Structure 1
Amino acid sequence: MSLPTRPLDDDIAIARRAKLKPIGEIAAALGLREEEWEPYGRYKAKLSLAILERLKDRPDGKLILVTSMNPTPAGEGKSTVTVGLGQALNRLGKRAIVALREPSLGPNMGVKGGAAGGGYSQVVPMEDINLHFTGDFHAITTAHNTLSALIDNHLHQGNALRLDPRRIVWKRVLDLNDRALRRVVVGLGGPANGVPREDGFDITAASEVMAVLCLATSRSDLKARLARMVIGYTSDRKPVTVGDLGAQGAMAVLLKDALLPNLVQTLENTPALIHGGPFANIAHGCNSLVATKMALKLGEYVVTEAGFGVDLGAEKFLHIKCRTGGLQPAAAVVVATVRALKMHGGVPKDRLHEENLDALRNGLANLEKHLETLDKFHLPAVVAVNRFYTDTEREWNVLAERARERGVPLAFADVWARGGEGGLELAEQVVALAEGADRRGTVRFLYDVNEPLRTKIETIAREVYGADGVRYTAQAEKQMAQIEANGWGRLPVCMAKTPYSLSDDPTRLGRPTGFTLTVRELRPAVGAGFVVALTGDVLTMPGLPKAPAALKMDIDDEGNVYGLF
């Protein structure tokens, strides 16, 4: 097995050289009618919801979920593997479509970078996708903040709904990392400027409007979900909703185009639907339900990804998105890297380039826990080792040997450097799982939605994270009682947790044991259809790092962008 080579150019240079097809050719290859797509320039298009109605009787394709072990600062390349797998499936003669989330400007300008894949497994046009794209994030931001303005105007104009200004839970949002806005005071400057009260900002990806848009199945469903969102409480603790305020119509108008999936392509001209972008550590972390359903009608295979590891993205994909949309994934791909495994085995980031077989073996415990979790869901999985040029053949042999011992399918992927060709081994393993005789039937959920909220939280903590138990702060206990009293206790749970550890402590790598998960706050997201349980120090408005990626970005006189990755 030859070592992978590193691309000589960065992602943006590779993307700039790509020979893209006009988006009309991509749409035609999918069998779309001319009236079913609207071009946004040469290489992007919005797709009509009428496609779902026209193809409602067509059998669905096979849905493949790409997830991972717990991520590390070393990077695992989950989106890259997702794109590369889609390209490889097409090389095998399968009609494949990639379905991804839209990147947020927050991480893009911060530390993580974009979410369009990398190397020779990217979705393009890369600059557009990682920046303003088709304006969906801006529409969600505007719809969210329109509601904020209407709330404060309602207070100013007499407050007929008797909203308690101290109990308004609806914050404002911005699609940037800006820690200075986490807590603010609005309405200062006298009576003409409104009612003074405490407020704050979340990042747009954490907005309930984002979650609503990504789980809505139609315009009417979108409006109904918006109307159910809770904006605050009266002085006697009665919930007040968007529907009470009458703002759902205006919000739906602002979201009319954002609800439509976006069609683009990969570097190898594989169709890609990129739509919606909720974070997986503070929301459900999946692309939109309408985009996934549309892709399943248009393709033989649909490769999608859920944010972060099995403990966050995959768990929510299965318990929230699949339950809401009636989806049935055929197989999962768990992305791992030698570098990440060594880091979970105790190697610091600056020494990951050194061969360390003992640390590699120790780190495998993290990967194995994620595989055990998928087995509990009855979802067959293959491990995709995303190859890096710093890997050694002896390290690969350790992984292959452990996989044989455990009876786990494993494939080495070199999609970053070789595109779809580097993912053929993985694609063959995926097809074997999805079409083989060993399919185990439908996915089995780990909890019943009708169980008490406490039971659902503790099931996830015990079965998915490996916790001994759950501790609730006094605030969380009070909120749980209120949620149950308001009739929201039968909603699924959306856990907000650090992605870096199975526990709620980001420093506990590997497979931690003997820990108790702490739930510090519970937030009902009634419109989205779940209850958010915040653990540890998870923030809904991130901050910028000491050296933000934004400081390395530039544009020349010809309009070429640099420093975007």
Structure 2
Amino acid sequence: MQLRTDIEIAREARKLPILEIGAKLGIPPEDLVPYGHDKAKVAQHFIRGLADRPDGKLILVTAINPTPAGEGKTTTTVGLGDGLNRIGKQAVICIREASLGPNFGMKGGAAGGGMAQIVPMEEMNLHFTGDFHAITAAHNLLAAMIDNHIYWGNALEIDARRIVWRRVMDMNDRALRDVVVNLGGVSNGFPRQTGFDITVASEVMAILCLARDLDDLEQRLGNIVVAYRRDRSPVFCRDLKADGAMAVLLRDAMQPNLVQTLENNPAFVHGGPFANIAHGCNSVIATTTALKLADYVVTEAGFGADLGAEKFFDIKCRKAGLKPSAAVIVATVRAMKMNGGVAKADLGREDVEAVRRGCANLGRHIANTRGFGIPVVVALNHFTGDTEAELQAVRDYVAGLGTEAILCRHWAEGSAGIEDLARRVVELAEGPSSFAPLYPDDMPLFEKMETIARRIYHADEVIAEPAIREQLRVWEEAGYGALPVCMAKTQYSFTTDPSVRGAPTGHVIPLREVRLSAGAGFVVAICGEIMTMPGLPQTPAAEVIRLNAAGQVEGLF
């Protein structure tokens, strides 16, 4: 029997009108702004009216380091939300929007999979409600106003050599990483070197995902540092009077997007910072809104727990005052075998010893996540080729660490295949939790980076050029020392070398660059060779994405 693809399953979904999905959460029709029949934005005035309601329980879904074998974190997030609703709990799913860059590059889609998907799948993976385009436009408006200000006399005395605001686009394009602009003569401005980042790495994206409301959004936009003068004093977005116009472009994008799962359960899909180069979480406004409307909110953080979960705890929860009740770490037998040294082509063969060797990566993530003071359970995402001996090897290993690995079949069976995990999550969430971030606000910036490197990555040290340490010192003197740090690092390893799997120790984390995101409220530490503008692979997913004879999208998966 030929398996149906994700997009074929999504296309067969029996979707409810989005007004009916909103009604499940008590959202009146007049407080929804429909984008067609199956997606809508939730109005700001409705969200403001929820302030006095109690919060539900917040559940984080994270994972081991990603491998080509696949882990299924988003699929498990969707499945768990469906599973909680199946056992009688009112649950809402909160995930990020998909970036066009990876969709047309490597992934081909980011809405879950199998019988645990969010729909409309095609729209969510493409332009959706236009949020990313609005973020790109607002970001590049500020870039244009910087060059325009210099062209018309430079009253702010911006040093063109010290402009730190790059441009963005929502596509992988390595050719734009390092460019020269304003060529072509006097009428085009003053030539200077700059570059592009991908939209999901934009500080505007981070600001939208951390802002509480439109007023907070505009204030944060105004706090963006765009350049420095010759005396090294900062020039802010508000100095250029760009913050108001940027907020106008982002007004609608600030409203969370409401959609549904294949089982017609509500889901908020909003914001999309990457976890390897940004903070990797959906928006604060979507999460806090969901917490007012449901008993349980299931959210995810990008990539492995060393990146997404750490940033969820240390940045998002710290800034928004969130207190998660439990965490789920997603793993697969196939990924354990890859971490144990098995090549992708050989994953179909039973290899219990390789599974046991690879479990060290899972164990590291369990210990790290527990270090934040919340209970942890493992979701063992089932693949058809898994053998009982391999599954038991994972269960035994996890039991030896004082928790449990629960087999989940949500990809094939939907909510019926994840009931056991849903019931266990409820037990953990109703029990004790003592959540606390990894480091205090008043710790120096470089020590915060060292703390993450040593306690999460298990590195021996962080190395940085004197100029980087001096830059951190200057920012501390300017009042930015209390900010959390956002580590930009490869997602594939605890080290900065993507080929190193397992749970390595004794390595070094090199800092290549630091960036101040004053509006978002964190300092970015760029480690190793990580790029804030990815490139397309040798065979991009775009080569197989097309319209069929019926005008339907093919190739998203």
| TM-score under structure 2 length normalisation | 0.98
Partner residue of 2:377? 382
Partner residue of 1:482? 474
Secondary structure of the corresponding residue to residue 428 of structure 1: helix
Amino acid at match of 2:529: D
Per the TM alignment, residue 485 of structure 1 is displaced from its structure 2 partner at its CA by 3.0
Partner residue of 2:59? 64
CA 1:534 to 1:496, structure 2 compared with 1: closer, same or farther past 3 Å? same
Per the TM alignment, residue 7 of structure 1 is displaced from its structure 2 partner at its CA by 7.4
Per the TM alignment, residue 395 of structure 1 is displaced from its structure 2 partner at its CA by 0.2
Q: Take 2:238 and 2:333, find their aligned partners in 1: how far apart are those partners? A: 51
Q: Does 1:551 align with 2:543?
A: yes
Amino acid at match of 2:88: G
Which region of structure 1 is more displaced relative to structure 2, 356-365 or 16-25?
356-365
Partner residue of 2:236? 241
State whether residues 363 and 398 of structure 2, in contact with CA within 8 Å, keep that contact through their aligned partners in structure 1.
no
Q: Take 1:113 and 1:363, find their aligned partners in 2: how far apart are those partners? A: 27
Q: Take 1:387 and 1:415, find their aligned partners in 2: how far apart are those partners? A: 8
User: Pairwise mapping of residues 107-126 of structure 1 onto structure 2 (< 5 A)?
Assistant: 107-126=102-121
Per the TM alignment, residue 557 of structure 1 is displaced from its structure 2 partner at its CA by 4.2
Amino acid at match of 1:485: E
Q: Take 1:386 and 1:473, find their aligned partners in 2: how far apart are those partners? A: 43
User: Pairwise mapping of residues 194-343 of structure 1 onto structure 2 (< 5 A)?
Assistant: 194-343=189-338
Per the TM alignment, residue 52 of structure 1 is displaced from its structure 2 partner at its CA by 2.7
Q: Take 2:271 and 2:447, find their aligned partners in 1: how far apart are those partners? A: 30
State whether residues 89 and 427 of structure 1, in contact with CA within 8 Å, keep that contact through their aligned partners in structure 2.
yes
Amino acid at match of 2:209: C
Amino acid at match of 1:81: T
**CA-atom RMSD in angstroms:** 1.1
**CA-to-partner distance for each residue in 1:437-478, whole Å, 9 max, x for gaps?**
xx13x3112211111111111111111111111111344223
Q: Take 1:146 and 1:81, find their aligned partners in 2: how far apart are those partners? A: 38
Partner residue of 1:189? 184
Amino acid at match of 2:392: N
Partner residue of 2:48? 53
Q: Select the residue among 405, 408, 411 that pairs with 2:406.
A: 411
What 5-or-longer segments of structure 2 have no aligned partner? none
Partner residue of 1:447? 439
Partner residue of 2:507? 515
Q: Does 1:371 align with 2:374?
A: no
How many residues were matched structurally? Answer: 557
Per the TM alignment, residue 50 of structure 1 is displaced from its structure 2 partner at its CA by 2.0
Which region of structure 1 is more displaced relative to structure 2, 233-242 or 540-549?
233-242
Q: Take 2:148 and 2:549, find their aligned partners in 1: how far apart are those partners? A: 44
**CA-to-partner distance for each residue in 1:285-329, whole Å, 9 max, x for gaps?**
000000000000111110000001111000000011001111111
Q: Does 1:160 align with 2:152?
A: no
**CA-to-partner distance for each residue in 1:56-92, whole Å, 9 max, x for gaps?**
1111111000001111122111000000000011100
Amino acid at match of 1:294: T
Q: Does 1:90 align with 2:82?
A: no
State whether residues 473 and 518 of structure 1, in contact with CA within 8 Å, keep that contact through their aligned partners in structure 2.
no
Amino acid at match of 1:414: R
Per the TM alignment, residue 518 of structure 1 is displaced from its structure 2 partner at its CA by 1.1
What 5-or-longer segments of structure 1 have no aligned partner? 1-5
Q: Take 1:7 and 1:461, find their aligned partners in 2: how far apart are those partners? A: 45
Which region of structure 1 is more displaced relative to structure 2, 380-389 or 479-488?
479-488
Q: Select the residue among 349, 353, 374 that pairs with 1:354.
A: 349
Q: Take 1:474 and 1:538, find their aligned partners in 2: how far apart are those partners? A: 20
Partner residue of 1:528? 520
State whether residues 82 and 265 of structure 2, in contact with CA within 8 Å, keep that contact through their aligned partners in structure 1.
yes
Which region of structure 1 is more displaced relative to structure 2, 350-359 or 472-481?
472-481
Amino acid at match of 1:546: Q
State whether residues 473 and 521 of structure 1, in contact with CA within 8 Å, keep that contact through their aligned partners in structure 2.
no
Q: Take 2:107 and 2:529, find their aligned partners in 1: how far apart are those partners? A: 19
Per the TM alignment, residue 536 of structure 1 is displaced from its structure 2 partner at its CA by 0.8
Amino acid at match of 1:503: T
Partner residue of 1:3? none
Partner residue of 1:39? 34
Secondary structure of the corresponding residue to residue 487 of structure 1: helix
Secondary structure of the corresponding residue to residue 253 of structure 2: coil
Q: Take 1:248 and 1:73, find their aligned partners in 2: how far apart are those partners? A: 42
**CA-to-partner distance for each residue in 1:133-191, whole Å, 9 max, x for gaps?**
00000000000011111111001000011111111010000000000011111111111
Q: Take 1:404 and 1:169, find their aligned partners in 2: how far apart are those partners? A: 49
Percent of matched pairs sharing the same residue: 58
Q: Take 1:33 and 1:554, find their aligned partners in 2: how far apart are those partners? A: 38
Q: Select the residue among 25, 28, 42 that pairs with 1:30.
A: 25
Secondary structure of the corresponding residue to residue 406 of structure 2: strand
